[in-house]
Amino acid sequence: MNILSENTAFGGMQAVFSHDSTACGCEMTFAVFVPPQATKEPCPVVWYLSGLTCTHANVMEKGEYRRLAAELGLIIVCPDTSPRGKDIPDELTNWQLGQGAGFYIDATEAPWSANFRMYTYITEELPALVAENFRADMSRQAIFGHSMGGHGAMTIALKNPERFKSCSAFAPIVSPMTSDWSIGALEQYLGKDQSQWRQYDACALVEDGARFPEFLIDQGKADGFLENGLKPWMFEDAVKGTDIALTLRMHERYDHSYYFISTFMDDHLRWHATRLG
C-alpha cells in the first residue's frame, strides 16, 4: 500500500492509502481510522460505504466519526465508491453511472465488467488488505453507509449475515430496481434481465429469503430524493412477517446531506459498538 496521508486524531490515526486492485483492475484508494486501543489489542472493524458522486473523502472530512470511534475503539474503513482513472469507463454527463457510481455490484456487461467489481472488492479484496495491515479483529465486523452506500451496506449484510454483527444506513436506496436514479445503472451494469438485479436489491433479497437480524435506518423527511429514489417504506413492507427487526426513524427537516449524517453518526457508531461487543 502507498500512504497518501497520515494524521493523528483523538489519539488514533486517520490515514488514506492507495493500492493496486486485482478486483477492479486499477489503483484504488481508501481511508481508515485506527483508534488508540489498536496499539494494545485488535479492534473491531466498521465499514462505511459512501453514496453517489462521493469518494472516501466525503465522510472522512464531514462525517465527524473520529471522536467517538476513538472512545469506543472502532476501526473505521471508508472505501471509494468506484474504480477511477483515465482508462476506466465513465459517463461524463451522467452522475448516476460510471466513476463515482459503482453501486457496490459486480458488473457483468461490457465495458463495465472489466473494472466495476465493487462487490468483490468490498467483500473480499479490501478485507484481506485490512486484516493484513491493521490490528483488526475480523471476527467482529459491522457495516453501514449513506444513500447508494446504504444500499450497498444492506445488500452486503443480507448476503453475508455470518460476517457482520450489525448493519445500519442513512437514507439508503432500499429498492434500486424501482428507484429513478439506479434503474439505468443496473441495466448498464447487469443487462436487461431484471432477475439478475435482485441480488443487489435489499427488498428483493428479503423477498427471496435473505435474512439479517436487524437494521437501523435514519431518514430525513426533507430529503429531496425520498419519494422517487429512497422509499424506505418499501423495506418496511418487505420485512413484515419475517424475523428481521427494523428500526426506521424519520426525522423532520433533515435532508440528504452530511449535516444530516453527522447529526446521527454517534447513534450509529454506538449501535454498532453495542452489537460488536
Cell for 174?
432500499
Q: pLDDT-derived band of residue 253, with 50, 70 and 90 as boundaries? A: very high
Active site (annotated) includes residue 256:
yes
Predicted confidence at residue 61, as pLDDT, reads 97
pLDDT value, residue 13 = 98
pTM passes above 0.95: yes
Average pLDDT (64-89) is 97
Q: What per-residue confidence (pLDDT) applies to 155?
A: 98
Determine the pLDDT at residue 1: 92
Of 50, 147, 166, 175, catalytic: 147
Q: Residue 7: which of 80, 82, 70, 84 has the closest Cα? A: 70
Considering 80, 223, 268, 272, which one is annotated as catalytic?
Answer: 223
At 40, is the pLDDT very low, low, confident or very high (cuts 50, 70, 90)? very high
Q: Can you give the pLDDT at residue 210?
A: 98
Beta bridge partners of 28: 19
Read off the pLDDT band of 109 (50, 70, 90).
Answer: very high
Average pLDDT, stretch 146-165?
Answer: 98
Per-residue model confidence as pLDDT tens digits over 164-207: 999 999 999 999 999 998 999 999 999 999 999 999 999 999 99
Q: What are the structural domains of the chain?
A: 2-269 (3.40.50.1820)
Rounded Cα distance between 57 and 238, Å, is: 33
Report residue 84's pLDDT band, with 50, 70 and 90 as the boundaries: very high
Mean confidence (pLDDT) of the chain? 98
| Confidence class for position 8, pLDDT limits 50, 70, 90 | very high
The CA distance from 65 to 85, in Å, is: 29
Residue 99: pLDDT band by 50, 70, 90 thresholds?
A: very high
Q: Which of 261, 248, 46, 267 is nearest to 167 (CA)?
A: 46
User: What pLDDT is stored for residue 39 in this prediction?
Assistant: 96
Contact 120, 23 (CB under 8 A): yes
pLDDT at 140: 98
Per the CB < 8 A criterion, the answer to whether 190 and 108 are in contact is yes
Residue of 56, 146, 151, 256 with catalytic role: 256
Specify the pLDDT at position 12. 98
272 is catalytic: no
Q: What is the pLDDT of residue 233?
A: 98
**Residue 200: count of CB within 10 angstroms of its CB:** 24
Question: Going by DSSP bridges, is the β-strand pair 43-49/26-34 parallel, antiparallel, or unpaired?
Answer: unpaired
- pLDDT class of 110 with cuts at 50, 70, 90: very high
Long-range contacts of 193-197 (CB under 8 A, 24+ apart): 196/108
147 is annotated as an active-site residue: yes
Longest alpha-carbon distance in the chain:
51
Percent of the chain exceeding pLDDT 90 equals: 100
